[in-house]
Amino acid sequence: MSEKVDRRTWLKIAAGTVAGLAVGGVAGYLSAPSKEVERTVTKEITKTITSIRTPEKEKVTVTLNWWPGPESDAVTPIVKWWNENMEPENNIHVELVLFGRAEHFDKVANLLISKSPEPDIVFMSYTVGRVYEHLEPLDKWFGSPKYPYALEHYVPAALDSFRVKGTLYGIPTDMNTSILMYRTDIIPDPPKTLEEMVEVARKWTKKYNPDSPTEYGFAIQGKNIWFNSYFWIDLYVNQGGPPLTPGNEIEFAKSLDSDIAKRTLEIYVKILDEGLSPPDCVDYEYAETNQALASGKVAMALQWQCALGELRNPKNAPLIYDKIGGCLPPGRKLPDGTIYRKSEVHVHGPGINKYSKHKEAAFKVFAFLTTFRFARDYIMNGAFTGSQAILFNEHIRKIRTDIPDLAPVYMNSWPMTTHPDLIAIHDIITRNINSALTKLKSVDKALSDAKKELLELLTKE
Amino acid sequence: MKERHLGILLVLPATVILFSVTLFPTIFAYYMSVHRMTLQHFWSAPFVGLENYFRVLSLSDFWYSLKFSLLYTVVVTSIEITLGFFLAVYFDRPLKGRKVLISIIMLPMAIAPALFGILMKLMFNDVAGLIPYILKNLFKMEVGFFSNFNSAFLTLAFIDIVQWTPFVFIILYAAVQALPRAPIDAAIVDGASKWQLIRHIIIPLLKPTILIVTVFRVMDALKTFDTINVITGGGPGNLTMTLSILVYKLAYTRGDFGLSAAATIIYFLIVIVIANLGLRLLKKGGILA
């Protein structure tokens, strides 16, 4: 700070440091992360909160955009806390700005490309590659001694999901991955390989087993909506295909007519053809799959991880809330006998608008969003996390009963691509998978078309 | 003079707002259509002339969507006009609870198309939907309403008919109410049957209104987006992708605003051709000068 700091401000900084230490102590009490994470978390709380508390010269309103739904429900009390506790000290008022959930990311993209200065902080997704040129690169901010940060506590693949060409543009407050959800009462030991999954699905399909409590053994999310490709991609990568990670898009596209890809899609189609999945599954996405599980109609499904918490709520799924589990998607047996199983991870979280007129103040708010305190409150208010410190916190694991199932999935994840044409890439894959499922194309044609379209897209000027 | 200036001044604010939300986007669409405008190159988009138009016309998805939109329009419009007409004729009589019945018929039209789509999607949902439940338990039938083209098309058409027949009905009902009674009474006196009355008296008298409402419904049905996007997203595969959905996907899935703008303008030209045909029919029918 170039200006002379008066006594009052020094007292505030000292009080803030003591308070920060106290918060750090409380955080230490609540958490039981690894020693390294604990050291990092405690360090960032004291220094970062001290910096955050340094007042702005004039009152500033930072507009914080978030995703409506469980995520905004979780952040609303935190914003209220900030305005009641931090605003009097640092003169930064946070105003929460929400758009409609369905087209939120398109709306944010439109605002960014129109160079709107607001919102100051935008809630982004793994489609960050489309708009990264309109976002503030964060490495220089986090690298400043003014805002020492603890990004090490994030799941590495999650943080990488917000890097474009190696530069960080957001922080993962919400991680998403796909898991295999299954009925624990009838499937005590979930399938580990794809072949096992098909056999278990057959066992719990009424057509093959009249005594099955479920009508179908599996539900494919087959709707022609671009993100439904993630489930098939997970299966494909686990069977030996190259992962669709940042920078690996062309290799992935070239592999689509391989024997591994054909085999994986043939199995996917076979699940539907043999009646192991409901016929309407070609129109299923998140909600329909949840309904199919909650109603007891299906025994297993590949689903987004947030469904686990929802379906373990007795109000949402009274029939199955105490008998639903989640694990890594099925993989393949390696020559050494081990099972290769991973899942992709993609993220949501805030980034700073490059055109913001209050970047300094926005970054103070942003730095707060990286703290353990925020992560703890955010998940306890019903959202999720990108932090390992949260995933392995014993107190939180007792309350959020989905975390013990999900933590190993996240720790075995690979980052989904952040290519600018990410949505088009997935749209091509989903459309062709859907065409194979509905017999519009053969498996071979679907994959060769997908490969051709992807290579055209990825190699265009 | 002063009064005229005052009039212009009073109308000016609304005109400016109207132009800014119609004229500017239209001009900008033309601009985008001749540039390779993507999310990454929005402010530095290179000029490409008519390249985007040729790209759109070379897309197999474009031709499929055009065919689907036309088929969908023909099917739903013809059924809606027929049903709406017969409902209008039916209600043109003293009926107990007529006003209540008419209000019930009008309800689907009062719901926003996207919301109506969500409601119908739930109704037809194979797990929680009322219709599959009734079919399965009363008729022992299991129907995949969205599992293939035929069922998806028929279901979507049904939903459109439920929502928009009331629109046709209310316009034709008002027209029926306004028909001169003399020719109808004379025909009844002459011994005309109900069907003869409809065919030879009511339909000719209602022809102008039927033509107008047909043109309206054709314009609307060609533009269908919300309902189908919410229910099937254009699937299975691309089988229920209308031109509107294609335009949307080109912009927000491919991120190619230039291509999407070119598709919009081609779409607009197609709609103008059809609208012109409609206007000619109306002129021929003596409805328009």
Touching check for B254 and chain A: CB below 8 Å? yes
Domain A7-174+347-402: give its CATH code.
3.40.190.10
Question: Are A283 and B232 in contact (CB < 8 Å)?
Answer: yes
pLDDT in tens, B69-98: 999 999 999 999 999 999 999 998 888 888
SS3 B256: strand
Distance from CA of B41 to the nearest CA of A (A): 9
Question: Are A297 and B148 in contact (CB < 8 Å)?
Answer: no
Tell me which residues of chain A have a C-beta less than 8 Å from any C-beta of chain B: 106, 109, 113, 130-131, 133, 222-226, 278-280, 282-283, 288, 291-292, 295, 297, 420-421, 423-424, 427, 431, 434-435, 437-438, 440-441
* Beta bridge partners of residue A183, listed in sequence order: A324
A86, with CB counted inside 10 A (0-12, 13-18, 19+), is: buried
Identify the residue among B247, B250, B253 best suited for mutation to test binding to A, counting A beta carbons within 10 A and taking the highest: B253
Considering only the beta carbons, identify the residue of A279, A295, A424 that sits closest to B253.
A424
**Residue A226 with chain B: CB contacts under 8 Å:** 253
How many whole angstroms separate alpha carbon A284 and alpha carbon A79?
35
**Cβ neighbours of residue B203 closer than 8 Å, sequence gap 6 or more:** B85, B210
**Residue A164 with chain B: CB contacts under 8 Å:** none
SS3 B172: helix
Burial call B100-139: b when 16+ CB within 10 Å, e when fewer: eebeebeebbeeebeebbbebbbbbbbbbbebbeeeeeee
Burial call A184-194: b when 16+ CB within 10 Å, e when fewer: eebbeebbbbb
Residue type, A276: L
How many whole angstroms separate alpha carbon B121 and alpha carbon A283?
10
The predicted pLDDT at position A120 comes to 96
**Residue B148 with chain A: CB contacts under 8 Å:** 438
Burial call B84-95: b when 16+ CB within 10 Å, e when fewer: bbebbbebbeee
The predicted pLDDT at position B170 comes to 95
How many whole angstroms separate alpha carbon A284 and alpha carbon B192?
54
Model confidence band, residue B3 (pLDDT cutoffs 50, 70, 90) = confident
**Residue B40 with chain A: CB contacts under 8 Å:** 130, 133, 420
SS3 B47: strand
Task: Read off φ and ψ for residue A8, nearest 5 degrees.
Answer: -60, -40
Kindly compute the dihedral angle of the four CA atoms of residues A96, A102, A104, A105, in this order, to the nearest 10 degrees. Answer: 150
Touching check for B252 and chain A: CB below 8 Å? yes
pLDDT in tens, B262-280: 999 999 999 888 888 888 8
C-beta separation of A72 from A98 below 8 A: yes
The predicted pLDDT at position A95 comes to 97
Return the sign of the alpha-carbon dihedral for residues A288, A293, A295, A297.
positive
pLDDT in tens, A61-114: 999 999 998 899 999 999 999 999 989 988 999 999 999 887 898 899 889 989
Question: Are A431 and B127 in contact (CB < 8 Å)?
Answer: no
C-beta separation of A129 from A419 below 8 A: yes
Residue type, B277: L
The predicted pLDDT at position A34 comes to 44
Question: Are B254 and A421 in contact (CB < 8 Å)?
Answer: yes
C-beta separation of A178 from A329 below 8 A: yes
Q: How many Cβ atoms sit within 10 Å of the Cβ of residue A276? A: 28
The predicted pLDDT at position B136 comes to 86
Structure token digits, residue B108: 């689907």
Question: Are A440 and B237 in contact (CB < 8 Å)?
Answer: yes
A400, with CB counted inside 10 A (0-12, 13-18, 19+), is: buried
Touching check for B42 and chain A: CB below 8 Å? yes
Measured between CA atoms, the residue of chain A closest to residue B235 is A224
Touching check for B182 and chain A: CB below 8 Å? no
Output the CA angle A255-A425-A434, nearest 5 degrees: 85
The predicted pLDDT at position A50 comes to 65
Distance from CA of A287 to the nearest CA of B (A): 10
* Beta bridge partners of residue A182, listed in sequence order: A300, A325
Beta strands A121-125 and A343-352 are antiparallel
Taking the alpha carbons at both ends of chain B, their separation in whole angstroms is 32
Question: Which residues belong to CATH 3.40.190.10 in chain A?
Answer: 7-174+347-402, 176-344+416-458
Question: Are A130 and B39 in contact (CB < 8 Å)?
Answer: yes
How many whole angstroms separate alpha carbon A378 and alpha carbon A71?
8
Touching check for B144 and chain A: CB below 8 Å? yes
Beta strands A60-66 and A332-333 are unpaired
Touching check for B237 and chain A: CB below 8 Å? yes
How many whole angstroms separate alpha carbon B263 and alpha carbon B245?
11
How many whole angstroms separate alpha carbon A336 and alpha carbon A339?
9
Distance from CA of A409 to the nearest CA of B (A): 29
DSSP for residue B191: T
Question: Are A282 and B127 in contact (CB < 8 Å)?
Answer: no
* Nearest partner of A150 among A11, A27, A322, A3, judged by Cα: A27
Measured between CA atoms, the residue of chain A closest to residue B257 is A110
Identify the residue among A135, A431, A433 best suited for mutation to test binding to B, counting B beta carbons within 10 A and taking the highest: A431
Question: Are B235 and A434 in contact (CB < 8 Å)?
Answer: yes
Question: Are A130 and B40 in contact (CB < 8 Å)?
Answer: yes
Per the listing, tokens 């339909």 go with B203
**Residue B249 with chain A: CB contacts under 8 Å:** 427
Q: What is the 3-state secondary structure (H, E, C) of A398-419?
A: HHCCCHHHHHHHHCCEEECCCC
Measured between CA atoms, the residue of chain B closest to residue A133 is B40
Question: Are B128 and A295 in contact (CB < 8 Å)?
Answer: yes
Question: Are B253 and A427 in contact (CB < 8 Å)?
Answer: yes
* Beta bridge partners of residue A340, listed in sequence order: A332
Touching check for B126 and chain A: CB below 8 Å? yes
Touching check for B39 and chain A: CB below 8 Å? yes
Where chain A has pLDDT below 50, the residues are: 1-5, 16-40
Q: Is the pLDDT of residue B181 over 70?
A: yes
* Nearest partner of B207 among B281, B98, B145, B155, judged by Cα: B281
Considering only the beta carbons, identify the residue of B128, B236, B254 that sits closest to A224.
B236
Touching check for B253 and chain A: CB below 8 Å? yes
How many whole angstroms separate alpha carbon A302 and alpha carbon A295?
16
Residue type, B128: A
Question: Are B237 and A434 in contact (CB < 8 Å)?
Answer: yes
Structure token digits, residue B5: 């200036």
Domain A176-344+416-458: give its CATH code.
3.40.190.10
Question: Are B125 and A438 in contact (CB < 8 Å)?
Answer: no
